[in-house]
Every structure is written in structure tokens, then in C-alpha cells.
Chains A and B, each alone.
Chain A
């Protein structure tokens, strides 16, 4: 491997399988520019009509929470059961609510 040769950057690929649905993470591709990333994602992840829209995002542009922060990030929502509709008592016979 020479100093200037490499496999390109990693781009994460998101596919919308049909209009109206959210884009879902499918995997990643290597590419050196965004057009190549988009084409590679198309050739790699939509060979079986998997998608109607593609996003490619450079891996280093993604910010992730860290596992060691999980308690402070996600546990505080544990006891907020009032955010769920089943928390509320409805009178018998009430409909469409």
C-alpha cells in the first residue's frame, strides 16, 4: 500500500423502501466522493428493488451517543409512564379517545 492509495472513506447508507416510510440504515460503502458514494450505494444496496430513495452520509459526520452514557441518557425516561396513553384511566363507555 502506497501512502496515497487507500480504499476511500466509509459512507453510511440509508434507504427509503417506499414513499412515506422513514429512511433506514442499510450498511456502508467505500467511496472517495459523494457521487461515487451514491452510485456505489445504488449498486450495492438496491439491486433487488429495495429502495426509492438513498441517502449517503460520511461516517465521520455521524455523532453517536456512547454506551457509558446510556444510564444518564436513557434511564431517566424509565419512570415517566405518564407519557404513554395507557397511563390514563378512561370512564367506561368512552369511545374514540
Chain B
């Protein structure tokens, strides 16, 4: 009885756009959904450092190097903001990291694709960050306070990321024939995985129902995907690259682009762990984590000694 009343009050708050804060009562499913979604988002930021990190040492100019480094650093920061938000739901970062490493928690599949050429730094910034931004802008209005605040900060910082990627693509597209070929190849490889970042079609997405009712998600997968495609097609045209979708066509009537069907077999395969880099990414994370154990233990031991000294003094 009590819970039914609480649930009604909770839904009334959501419906009148009052944010939910950590200490407020919330249905267990809401908490679980947020723990899963926010930590998945955090893991994606952190794992996402790897494919771009792959090119820092080889960045072709010092300017390109600092820009890429600053961008990856932001991603680490965003991972940190998101873990912080997720921790307010009563689960520690240690536990979230353990879930990631055991495979219980997922991260965005896009980071299981390899970055093979410098143009991939362009494609990742332009397409992957571009898709992420569409999602994140929408999530600024999410119903959970700490998540919404993290998203607002992230969106503010992300604004240069997509430009950085697009600038690389534009420069290469008007460069030597080899550079242009690299740019087109990067677009070919990253286009479909990028539009699949929005997840399955609404009709096949089991989590969408509650997430929309609770205003965790403010727009559905298909709505967000359409937004991304509509704003990206023109950008490709401006720099003279071709989007690898023969079915892509402006639809005057609905005022947006029609596009081809995505390869969902590939999508689920990568989600299940069979992407080109799934094992590599996770092993990299585990290795760094393991190599850090003695460092973290030392810092904890040092802090403990300091506290004891203070007590004595």
C-alpha cells in the first residue's frame, strides 16, 4: 500500500518535471535502470579512450597531438563525472568497474572497432562524438538530478570534440589522393556502426518503455538516430565525401532522410563480444587496473599512516 502511494507521488514528480535526487524515494527498477545506463555510459567514455589513444603518439603535427590528447582527457573526465553520478545510486565505483571487467556491464559497441588510419580520428570525432552528442543533448533533461547535471557539464565540454574530428576529415578530404581515400575509407567503416550506436529500433528495444515513462530517456532510439542522420548528411556533402548508403534519400514529405536497413546481425555479434576489438579493449582495461593495484594500495597505506600520526600528535 505504502509503495503504491510512493510510486504515485514519484510518477507525479516525474510528470511535473521535478528532478529526482539521490536521497529521494525511487522505485527499485528506476534505480537499477539508472545504475545500468549511467555506468554503461561511464564505461563507454573510459573504454572510448583506447581507440583514440591508439593515435596520440602518431599524431601528424604537434597541434593535432595536443588537440587529440585534450579531447581524450575530456573523455576520461566525462567517465569520471558519470561514475560520480552513478555512485549516488548506492553502488561504488569499485563495484561498477568489477561489473565492467567481468562482462556483466556493457559499453558502447562502437569502441570495439579498430582505428586503422589517422582519418579514423576524424571519423570518430565527427561521427561517433556527433552521435553521442545528439544523445547527450537529449539526456540533459533526464529526470535524475546527478545524471542531468553531469550531462550538462559534458555537453558544454564536448562542443569542440565533433569540430576537431570534422576538421581532420575536411583537411584530409581536400588533401592528397591518398588522404582523401583514407577519409572515405574511414567514413565507410564508421558510418553504420555510428548509426547503430543509437541502439535497436524502438520496436525491438525492451528497455525503452519504462525509460520514457520515467523520463530517463527523453527521446527514443529511432528519433535520435533520425536527428543524427539529418544533420550529418549535409556535412559529408560539404567536404565531398560519400555516405555509404545507396538507400539514403531526402524524403520531402516527412522532412527528413530515408535510409537503408542496418546490419543487426553484426550489431548483436559485436554486443555479444565478437567485435574486432572486444577482447583487446577489456584486456587493456584489466591490465591497467591490475598494474595499478600496488599504487592504490600504497596511497591508501600512506593515508592511513598520516591519519594515525595525526591522532598521536
Direct contact of A and B (CB under 8 A): yes
CA distance A33 to B25 in the complex (A): 32
* Contacts of A1-46 to chain B: CB distance below 8 A: 1-2, 4-8, 10, 27-30, 32-33, 36, 44
Contact A6/B94 with A36-B299, A67-B21 known, Cβ cut-off 8 Å: yes
A60 at the interface (CB under 8 A from B): no
Report yes or no: A5 in contact with B87, Cβ–Cβ below 8 A.
Answer: no
Smallest Cβ distance from A46 to chain B, in angstroms?
A: 11
B270 at the interface (CB under 8 A from A): no
Contact A28/B84 with A2-B293, A7-B97, A64-B23 known, Cβ cut-off 8 Å: yes
Report yes or no: A67 in contact with B300, Cβ–Cβ below 8 A.
Answer: no
Report yes or no: A1 in contact with B302, Cβ–Cβ below 8 A.
Answer: no
Smallest Cβ distance from B282 to chain A, in angstroms?
A: 16
Smallest Cβ distance from A43 to chain B, in angstroms?
A: 9
**Which residue on A lies nearest to B23, using beta carbons?**
A67
B91 contacts across to A, CB distance below 8 A: none
Contact A66/B23 with A7-B296, A32-B302 known, Cβ cut-off 8 Å: yes
- A interface footprint on B137-166 (CB within 8 Å = 1, 0 otherwise): 000000000000110010001000000000
A7 contacts across to B, CB distance below 8 A: 92-94, 97, 296
CA distance A7 to B300 in the complex (A): 9
- A interface footprint on B11-26 (CB within 8 Å = 1, 0 otherwise): 0000000000101110
Report yes or no: A6 in contact with B98, Cβ–Cβ below 8 A.
Answer: no
Smallest Cβ distance from A82 to chain B, in angstroms?
A: 28
CA distance A96 to B84 in the complex (A): 48
Contact A33/B302 with A47-B73, A67-B21 known, Cβ cut-off 8 Å: yes
A48 at the interface (CB under 8 A from B): yes
Q: A residues touching B (Cβ–Cβ < 8 Å)?
A: 1-2, 4-8, 10, 27-30, 32-33, 36, 44, 47-48, 64, 66-67
B171 at the interface (CB under 8 A from A): no
- A interface footprint on B289-306 (CB within 8 Å = 1, 0 otherwise): 000010011011111001
CA distance A30 to B296 in the complex (A): 11
B24 contacts across to A, CB distance below 8 A: 67
Report yes or no: A33 in contact with B80, Cβ–Cβ below 8 A.
Answer: no
Report yes or no: B157 in contact with A1, Cβ–Cβ below 8 A.
Answer: no
Contact A6/B296 with A30-B93, A33-B302 known, Cβ cut-off 8 Å: yes
Report yes or no: B81 in contact with A27, Cβ–Cβ below 8 A.
Answer: yes
Report yes or no: A32 in contact with B303, Cβ–Cβ below 8 A.
Answer: yes
B77 at the interface (CB under 8 A from A): yes
Report yes or no: B23 in contact with A33, Cβ–Cβ below 8 A.
Answer: no
Report yes or no: B77 in contact with A47, Cβ–Cβ below 8 A.
Answer: yes
Report yes or no: B98 in contact with A27, Cβ–Cβ below 8 A.
Answer: no
Report yes or no: A27 in contact with B153, Cβ–Cβ below 8 A.
Answer: yes
Contacts A4-B300, A44-B77, A67-B23 aside, 16 further interface pairs with beta carbons under 8 A come to: A5-B297, A6-B92, A6-B300, A8-B300, A10-B87, A27-B81, A28-B84, A28-B87, A30-B93, A32-B303, A33-B299, A33-B302, A33-B303, A33-B306, A36-B299, A66-B23
B93 contacts across to A, CB distance below 8 A: 7, 30
Report yes or no: B73 in contact with A8, Cβ–Cβ below 8 A.
Answer: no
